Chains A and B, each alone.
Chain A
């Protein structure tokens, strides 16, 4: 079953064309990667798909809904972790979870989520006092608190140390086990290779290549997705 269908999406900021005709389909229950360098347009795609930005052209359907005109109905069923987002410094972990749970008609049990993501010991810690890894866990828990069918995770592991990154990978796989469809946005090719069932590589606002990690590696005649990325996009290694 197709959960997300994007066709010919275009979006410009003033004169800069950030997304120039992106089309992709995400199937239910998979981890779908949107990979590509910084500035490729990945975040813009996510923000259009979650109704935060109005596209200039193209059509988007998420769970059969239009992200702009059915925004609130859609957001009842979709969880989001944004690349650029924060909580108030003084809010406590449990306050944030309880408050966000109150926005949904049928929320998950936020106390269970807090336990499951290891946040229970830090329930009374203020947001500003959390380290990067714990902030990310809280953001994941907040993305899941509405008991969503689809979750968008934008640059979840940027700024994490290697061990926190590995832990987070495990947590993302655990989401798929629960039947949640995950859209994972990342500029780390090793992360996309390790986690994703299918990947779209986006470069300069276009889909440069799409497929399973192994298929992209074969297409790029490479030994890793990272090398395949350079081969497929014709980019030089810095």
Chain B
């Protein structure tokens, strides 16, 4: 337990010391929120823009932490032999990867909290209608996207390579899945493509929970399935 706490705390500090990850996970989504709300007309259907935008951008933050920063960290640690040095200690691999995962998810928690605080303070964000549903959707979204990130981190040999691949998965997904552009304003064909990305169920479920709509068990099930499959393959394929 002491090890888990120590590694998590150190790793979170390291992430925050990296100007790129801190900027893109914290400052950039907050800026995007402010920019979007300058012209924030209600969505077709009447939902205030802020009540859709905060849940949407929280998926942007999860995706950045889980799909870009996490695999880049792991691959860089392998490339630079940081993992090898850790391997020469009695620390368990479960503890080490658990701490990495928790630290990166804490980054996403911070980014999400910042969006919520800004939304409440400046833009009249409504409290979530179903807080339990939002938390469940957020956690499943984080698990599913970061297990894909873990798989990338397991397979890609260099930190730079993992960053490039992570970003080239991340950007199309955030544009198409409704994490940056509300699904209501996208064309039918864009939405259809976006629905095929693993980010779409997270956007859907978090927005449903916030608005108090029922989330289909299928949406939650897809996220569980992605987590189990990608996470399982990652653990099997991982090289130190």
Task: Give Cα A105–Cα B3 distance, bound, in whole angstroms.
Answer: 10
Q: Which residues of A contact B91 (CB under 8 A)?
A: 103
Q: Which of B41-49, B76-84, B209-217, B228-236 contacts A (4 or more CB under 8 A)?
A: B76-84
A88 at the interface (CB under 8 A from B): yes
Q: How far is the CA of A105 from the CA of B2 in the complex (A)?
A: 10
Report the minimal beta-carbon distance from B99 to chain A, rounded to whole angstroms: 10
- Asked whether A52 and B89 contact (CB < 8 A) given A90-B17, A98-B6, the answer is no
For chain B, which range describes its interface: under 10, 10 to 19, 20 to 34, or 35 or more residues?
Answer: 20 to 34
Q: Closest A-chain residue to B80, C-beta based?
A: A86
CB distance B77 to A84 under 8 Å? no
The majority secondary structure among interface residues of chain B is helix
Q: Is the CB of B6 within 8 A of A104?
A: no
Interface segment, one of B7-15, B28-36, B56-64? B7-15
CA distance A104 to B6 in the complex (A): 12
9-residue interface stretch from A7-15, A74-82, A195-203: A74-82
* Residue interface bits B62-95, CB-to-A below 8 A is 1, else 0: 0000000000000001001110110111111000
Flag if A72 contacts B92 (CB, 8 Å). yes
**CB closest residue in chain B, given A72:** B90
- The chain B residue with its CB closest to the CB of A74 is B90
B10: A residues at CB distance < 8 A: 91, 95, 99
Nearest residue, chain B, Cβ from A105: B90
Q: How far is the CA of A80 from the CA of B91 in the complex (A)?
A: 13
A237 part of interface (Cβ distance < 8 Å): no
Contact indicator B88/A82 (Cβ below 8 Å) = yes
In the bound assembly, the distance between CA atoms of A200 and B75 in angstroms comes to 36
Contacts A90-B14, A98-B6; is A52 near B81 (CB within 8 Å)?
no
Chain A residue nearest to B15 in the complex (CB): A90
Query: Among A88, A103, A104, which residue has its beta carbon within 8 angstroms of that of B14?
Result: A88
CB-contact partner of A87 in B13, B17, B82, B90, under 8 A: B82
Determine if B2 and A102 form an interchain contact, defined as CB atoms under 8 angstroms apart. yes
Most chain A CB within a 10 A radius of its CB, from B7, B14, B17, B90: B90
Contacting residue for B7 out of A72, A99, A146, CB 8 A: A99
Chain B hits for A146, CB < 8 A:
89-90
- Chain A interface: which size bin? 20 to 34
The reply to whether A76 and B18 form a contact with Cβ atoms under 8 Å apart is no
Q: Would you list which residues of chain A between 72 and 130 have a CB under 8 Å from chain B?
A: 72-73, 75-76, 80, 82, 84-88, 90-91, 95, 98-100, 102-105
Report the Cα distance A105→B80, complex, angstroms. Answer: 27
B87 touching A52 by the CB < 8 A rule? yes
Partner of A85, one of B2, B14, B81: B81
> Given that A75-B90, A86-B80, A90-B18 are known contacts, is A102 also in contact with B85, CB under 8 Å in the complex?
no
- Complex Cα–Cα for A75 and B5 (A): 20
A181 interface residue (CB < 8 Å to B): no
A82 to B2, CA, bound (A): 25
**Whole-angstrom distance between the alpha carbons of A73 and B85 in the complex?**
17
In the bound complex, CA of A87 to CA of B84 (Å) = 10
Given contacts A88-B14, A90-B14, A90-B18, contact A103 B88 (CB under 8 A): no
Kindly state the separation between the CA atoms of A82 and B17 in the bound complex, as whole angstroms: 26
B90 touches A76 (CB 8 A): yes
Cα A123 to Cα B2 in complex, Å, equals 21
Contact between chains at B84 and A104 (CB < 8 Å): no
CA distance A112 to B84 in the complex (A): 26
Contact of A52 among B3, B80, B84, B92 (CB under 8 A): B84
Question: Within 8 Å CB of B7, what residues of A?
Answer: 99, 102
B27 to chain A, nearest CB (A): 18
CA distance A84 to B14 in the complex (A): 22
Q: In whole angstroms, what is the CA distance A27 to B10 when docked?
A: 38
Can you spell out 30 A-B residue pairs with CB atoms less than 8 angstroms apart? A50-B88, A52-B84, A72-B90, A72-B92, A75-B88, A76-B90, A82-B81, A82-B85, A82-B88, A84-B81, A85-B85, A86-B85, A87-B82, A88-B14, A88-B82, A90-B17, A95-B10, A95-B13, A99-B10, A100-B89, A102-B2, A102-B5, A102-B6, A102-B7, A103-B89, A103-B91, A104-B90, A142-B85, A146-B89, A146-B90
User: Which 8 interchain pairs have the tightest Cβ spacing?
Assistant: A85-B85, A102-B6, A80-B88, A103-B91, A75-B90, A90-B17, A103-B89, A102-B2
